[in-house]
């Protein structure tokens, strides 16, 4: 999806009443993220510099979208998202979460997924990329699952044309049994 089509699709969404919270201990990153959101009509209701403050607000206010930095000194983003997902009956337990990170290793991306984040965006990011991720999260229809320690959006991305390991095994089995593999 290119930037132009993302911007055209954003017209379908009305962000005027979206209650958004940004959590980042860097005042510079907090301002940049808030400005990027404001550029496409999302006025962050809360710009918070600490995980403890975010946790308090999440217990008191209903939030529609969270943008959380992964690395913060008091409560890191991973811990905050884990707590959020387990905070039921809090309605924010199901709020979409986009995590941001200055530098992130593959293992930390997996940790973000496993703590219940919807998406990870690396810094510096363009406003267009952030908008694309917000639109993706807004259209995301994955169900929330509780499996073992995990509570969050289904970690599997469904693509009917995908023939990954599980589907490839089914394809091989069907072919071996003489079934139509299509």
Separation CA 109–CA 162 (nearest Å) = 22
Q: In this structure, what CATH number is given to the domain that contains residue 17?
A: 3.40.50.2300
Query: 157 lies in a domain?
Result: no
**Structure tokens given for 57:** 């607000």
Pairwise CA distance, residues 83 & 66, whole Å: 14
**Low-confidence spans in the chain with pLDDT less than 70:** 1-12, 107-108, 151, 154-175, 178-182
Residue 21 sits at φ, ψ, to 5 deg, of -125, 130
- φ, ψ of residue 59 to 5 degrees: the values are -80, -20
Three-state secondary-structure class, residue 71: coil
Confirm whether 149 is domain-assigned.
no
Output the pTM of the full model. 0.75
Structure token digits, residue 28: 């510079």
**pLDDT tens profile 56-104:** 999 999 999 999 999 999 999 999 999 999 888 888 998 999 999 987 7
Query: Is 81:117 a contact under the CB 8 Å cutoff?
Result: yes
Domains: count for the chain:
1
**Is residue 52 domain-resident?**
yes
* Domain of residue 120, residue span: 3-140
- For a pLDDT cut of 90, what percent of the chain falls above it? 42
Query: Nearest to residue 92, comparing CAs of 135, 44, 134, 57?
Result: 57
Q: Residue 111 has what pLDDT?
A: 76
Residue 154 lies in a domain: no
Question: 178 lies in a domain?
Answer: no
24 located within any domain: yes
The answer to whether residue 179 is domain-embedded is: no
The secondary structure of the chain in percent helix, strand, coil, rounded to multiples of 5, reads: 45, 15, 40
């Amino acid at each position: 999806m290119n930037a132009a089509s993302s911007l055209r699709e954003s017209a379908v969404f009305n962000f005027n009443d979206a209650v958004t919270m940004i959590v980042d201990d860097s005042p510079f990153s907090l301002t940049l993220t808030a400005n990027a959101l404001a550029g496409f009509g999302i006025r962050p209701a809360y710009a918070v510099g600490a995980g403890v403050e975010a946790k308090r607000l999440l217990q008191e206010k209903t939030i529609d979208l969270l943008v959380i930095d992964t690395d913060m000194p008091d409560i890191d983003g991973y811990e905050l998202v884990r707590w959020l997902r387990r905070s039921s009956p809090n309605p924010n337990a199901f709020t979409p979460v986009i995590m941001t990170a200055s530098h992130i290793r593959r293992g930390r991306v997996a940790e973000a997924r496993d703590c219940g984040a919807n998406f990870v965006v690396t810094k510096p990011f363009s406003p267009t990329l952030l908008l694309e991720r917000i639109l993706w999260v807004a259209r995301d229809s994955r169900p929330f699952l509780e499996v073992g320690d995990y509570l969050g959006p289904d970690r599997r991305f469904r693509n009917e044309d995908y023939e990954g390991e599980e589907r490839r095994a089914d394809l091989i089995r069907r072919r071996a049994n003489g079934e139509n593999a299509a």
